[in-house]
Chains A and B, each alone.
Chain A
């Protein structure tokens, strides 16, 4: 069974630009969650999508948005990039029971650097 894949693996952008990251979940998984990992704040939950709808949301500004397609693939968009958005962005997929109680499988992450 193929794991969670994220593209691209590395990305360099400049302040003010926008970026779109992609996540392909494990086949049959309907839930995709996104996380940001930074040295200072650690791992933080961004949002979760289930059946093309945002089901749960963390405490991030509206510059961070996402969507999920009918095949469960998900994209995350960050607009008007700031230096502090430099981070490892992880996505995780699960079958889709109550959020976080089904085992989540993480992808390797996308390393975003904002210059």
Chain B
């Protein structure tokens, strides 16, 4: 049972355009969401996060939108740059009981930004 789903394994975007990466979740207990970027042969790098009490968080070229009613999360990158080419993971955190938290990842979307 995949609680966090990234339905697009890959995405290609022209340089300068907007990249939109999507993530759906099923567990209504998730209260904190994160996006990570991963280059080959490196560990993931934190990009941006959002608490469930917000619906938008912006950091430079990166904006994360949260639609709790739809259980949907998206990451917008504007403008896209070739250096953004990487695998992007969304992740969600919830209290699994007695104050113990878990972090659940999607399978990732490979973004290719074409110069």
Interface-facing stretch out of B14-22, B65-73, B99-107 = B99-107
Chain B residues positioned under 8 Å from A33 (CB to CB): 103
Contact, CB under 8 Å: B42 / A100 = no
Can you report 17 A-B residue pairs in the complex whose CB atoms are below 8 A from each other? A4-B43, A42-B89, A43-B44, A45-B105, A55-B100, A56-B100, A56-B101, A58-B102, A58-B103, A59-B102, A92-B43, A98-B101, A99-B93, A100-B101, A106-B42, A106-B43, A107-B43
Chain B residues positioned under 8 Å from A92 (CB to CB): 43-44
The interface size bin for chain A is 20 to 34
* Interface set of A (CB-CB < 8 Å, partner B): 4, 33, 42-45, 48, 55-59, 90, 92, 98-101, 103-109
Chain A residues positioned under 8 Å from B107 (CB to CB): 42
Contact, CB under 8 Å: B101 / A42 = no
What is the CA–CA distance of A105 and B105 in the complex, to the nearest angstrom? 16
What is the CA–CA distance of A12 and B81 in the complex, to the nearest angstrom? 38
